[in-house]
Structure 1
Amino acid sequence: MSGVPKLPLLAKSLMAALSLVGLSLPMAMPASASPASFVADLWPDAQARGVKRTVFEASLNGFQPSPRIVDQTRKQPEFAESVGAYVGKRVTDRQVATGRKMRGEWAQTLAAVSSHYGVQPELILAIWGMETNFGSYMGGNNTIHALATLTYEGYRKDFFRNELLTALQIASDGHISPKEMVGSWAGAMGHTQFMPSSFVSYAVDWNRDGRTDIWNSIPDALASTANYLKSHGWTAGETWGYEVQLPRGFDYGRAWGLGKMPISAWQAMGITRVAGRAFPRQQDEARLYMPAGGNGPVFLLLRNFDVIKRYNNSDSYALAVGHLADRVLGSGSFVAGWPADDKGLTRPQRLELQQLLSRRGFDVGTPDGVIGPRTRQAIMSYQARNGMLADGHASGTLLTKLR
């Protein structure tokens, strides 16, 4: 569910993380045993976990690995979205309107859940909207068969075997029937997409009907999400971050190397909140986030932003969740616009960018596809020499110019 050593909540976030580096996880060859033998070999471990034989058989009799799910594991990311494109596709006027509608429909539940867990209703709604478009699409895959396919094929076998056995336990405990246990190709389930192990740790029976049902009970799903966030350190009464404005002549070279500092320290560097707004607490620790360099929105991110990332370990994801929550609450779009022509970079493209800089005499160290301090400095030197804003941002626009 969370980042390494625990995995993110969504197995899809595994692929999202890989797309950032342009790599894929290894896929072992299928076991020599037949699917029937695989199922038979699985039973002793399931039995040891208390899985009922009737549930085991109902779940796995006639199992055959799904070619479609196998194909999902082998898909290579062909491009990387810029943060602006990612957020723009997911935080739309239509999605905001749906979020507000759902806030009205589930106002009583959200108020009670928010009061109990200390997570604002709009943030819970934003995760629901991001994960399954407010329950309109929960994946459509039989979770047990999907996990069995991944285990049989040797795809992160230990991880997915444990998730498979845990899914069988969930069904055996009566929370959901095997046929109703649907989710993503990689086993993320229900309205807000919990992996089975995360379900066991964080899902709650909010409506107290004796079953924890994140598939059919929206109250259970919303409360489970809030419980997950609270369990990972959500700070009640605080937001995720602020859009800010950089001063003229801002020292990008220094800023890239800074970590978390009190907001007062960022203010001392000339950073202000957009639209003349004040920061509620100057002592809050924040980090600077410049997803488009100095030519797009810039943010100071608080600790709740990192809690959102425990749900899906991606800055783009967390920014979209936070922004969708703010829009549902009534805030407008970001004050600064995103660069229209900017594109994200895959790891091979970042490697190419480093190689092109090196050929022009800029010191990037050993090209490795990772944008570190030396590459940032090389980018700023190149930008300054070519009349560009020397912000150190590695972008598709920059790569095109270097080519």
Structure 2
Amino acid sequence: MLLQLPRRPLVLLPLLLLAACAKAPAQNLPTTPSLITPAPLLNVPQPALDFAEWRQNLRSEAVAAGIDGALFDRVFAGVTPDPAVIKADSSQPEFTRPIWEYLDGAVSASRVGRGRVLLAQHNVVLRNIEQRYGVEAPILVAIWGLESNFGNNIGSNSVIRSLATLAYEGRRQAFWRNQLLAALQILQNGDISSERMVGSWAGAMGQTQFMPTTYNEHAVDFDGDGKRDLWNSSTDALASAAHYLQSSGWKPGQPWGFEVRLPKQFDYFHADPEQRRTLAEWQALGVYPAISSKGAAVDSRATLVLPAGHRGPAFLLLDNFRSILRYNNSTSYALAIGLLSDNLLNPTEVQASWPRDERQLGRSERIELQQLLAASGFDPGPADGIIGANTRKAIRMLQLQLNEPADGYPSPELLETLRKR
């Protein structure tokens, strides 16, 4: 039995290219993306060794892991830490763009138009990829579009230099060291030369922005030229993204999710990512698709998400949305992929209005909100400015006390209420 599902939005304002990547560090694309004003630099541990000593220790580790010593010496000749990479890793945004502005650019008319052209041009390859991995073409083209503007912006940083910098003096040095060793393995396998191994400041590579460990596990040679080339072969890049999504539990033929209408007097406490119900159970609560079309079985399980609180649109998100989150753990990013993929097939619009008049809390305000929640007897987790599951749960409990819609959304009004308590 199938539930009628909606078609989804075309939003028309421009945005700068996004910087997401498969299994990238979380700071590469925040949940509410796009930096406006940088906050002061975070404390970064100072290296105990100078770079030459550190590089020699790394060489010993790399050789023990099977990396050719001559290759290591050639790749690291002249490599020095990059101060710009440390600055990018150490800073955090004070202000972020609201999700509706992010989506305006992610699903812009120009991106949709270009994506449709490429969807047609690569039709045969995409059908072969879908037959092999079960991932539909529009999703892959949407990822291609957001990750690198369809291969036009793959980054220009030396991956080896960036990763060496982060492994030497960045945060989470063990993580970056592991990525650096994986990058050396890629070079040893001969898929790319060190000079052409370029990417983002965080080491995300190619047209689908894979981290080196993800590359080693999921990159494929789909064009049959003997190399897994995510930089120059769109075929390899698209197939590798499909392989990654398949490994992340992608369910062929199932939508990622859809916009829904909520009944009057709806209990917004149900809008919790930890609450998963079948589509039939959501229907019983009065939750129905905003626009009808064919889609998922009523026994499919979904979560209800209000990305802008109860004043904005509501979405039911299915298992394939969770697979997209494995690619980049950002609700905004995954929603952009879903909406863009829908628009590559049919021009559609989000039915509900975004609360464009509402100001977003800055990072320092979010930290203050968490501190005040804790002082009021709730448990928002660490005061880190990240509005995660614990903070949203604490906000819901406060909203219930205040007899307000318990949507878990951190609004300026809620912060002001806490300041007065």
Q: Which gives a bigger RCO, structure 1 or 2 (Cα 8 Å, sep 6+)? A: 2
**Does the 8 Å contact 2:306/2:407 carry over to 1?**
no
Query: Residue 28 in 1 paired to residue 48 in 2?
Result: no
Aligned counterpart for 1:57 among listed residues 67, 73, 96: 73
2:398 pairs with 1:378: yes
| Pair 1:144 & 2:157 matched | no
One-letter code aligned to 1:188: A
Higher mean C-alpha displacement, 48-57 vs 303-312: 48-57
Q: Is the 8 A contact 2:400 2:406 kept in 1?
A: yes
Residue 13 of structure 1 is matched in structure 2 by 26
The amino acid that maps onto 1:394 is Y
State the shift of 1:400 in Å: 7.3
Report matched runs for 1:141-290 at 5 Å. 141-256=157-272, 259-277=275-293, 280-290=296-306
* Secondary structure of 2:309 counterpart: strand
The structure where helix makes up a greater share of residues is: 1
Cα displacement string for residues 313-368 of structure 1 (whole angstroms, at most 9, x for unaligned residues):
11111101111111112141211121112344356423534677899xxx662565
TM-fit CA distance, 1:24:
8.4
Q: CA deviation at 1:84?
A: 2.0
Preserved contact between residue 147 and residue 207 of structure 2 (Cα < 8 Å): yes
Displacement after TM superposition at 1:267 (Å): 0.4
Deviations 1:132-179 (A, max 9, x none): 111111111000111111112153221111111111111111100000
TM-score under structure 1 length normalisation: 0.87
The corresponding residue for 2:378 is 365
Write the mapping of 1:285-304 to structure 2, written as runs, cut at 5 A. Answer: 285-304=301-320
Structure 1's unaligned 5+ residue stretches are: 1-7, 385-389
Q: 8 Å contact 2:32–2:98 — kept in the other structure?
A: no
Gaps of 5+ in 2: 1-20, 34-38, 384-389
**What is aligned with 1:316?**
332
Q: Which moved more, 1:66-75 or 1:81-90?
A: 81-90
**Percent identity of paired positions between Structure 1 and Structure 2:** 39
1:327 aligns with 2:340: no
Give the corresponding residue for 2:409.
394
State yes or no: 1:111 paired with 2:127. yes
Structure 1 residues 57-112: Cα deviation after superposition (integer angstroms, max 9, x where no partner): 22110111111111111212112333222222321111111111211221111111
Partner-residue secondary structure (3-state), 2:177: helix
The separation in 1 between residues aligned to 2:307 and 2:245, in whole angstroms, is 24
Of 195-204 and 366-375, deviating more is: 366-375
Q: What is the TM-score when the length of structure 2 is the normalising length?
A: 0.84
Q: Deviations over 1:277-300 (max 9, x none)?
A: 465411110111111222211111
Match of 1:82? 98
Check the 8 A contact 1:18/1:24 in 2, yes or no.
no
Matched position secondary structure for 1:78 = strand
Match 1:72 to one of 76, 83, 88: 88
Distance 1:319 1:190, change over 3 A: same
Look up the SS of the partner of 2:191 in the other structure.
coil
Superposed CA deviations along residues 221-261 of structure 1, whole A, max 9, x for unmatched, are: 11000000001110011110011000112122355486111
Q: Distance in 2 between matches of 1:318 and 1:86?
A: 12
With over 3 angstroms needed to count, the CA separation of the structure-2 counterparts of 1:24 and 1:345, relative to structure 1, is farther
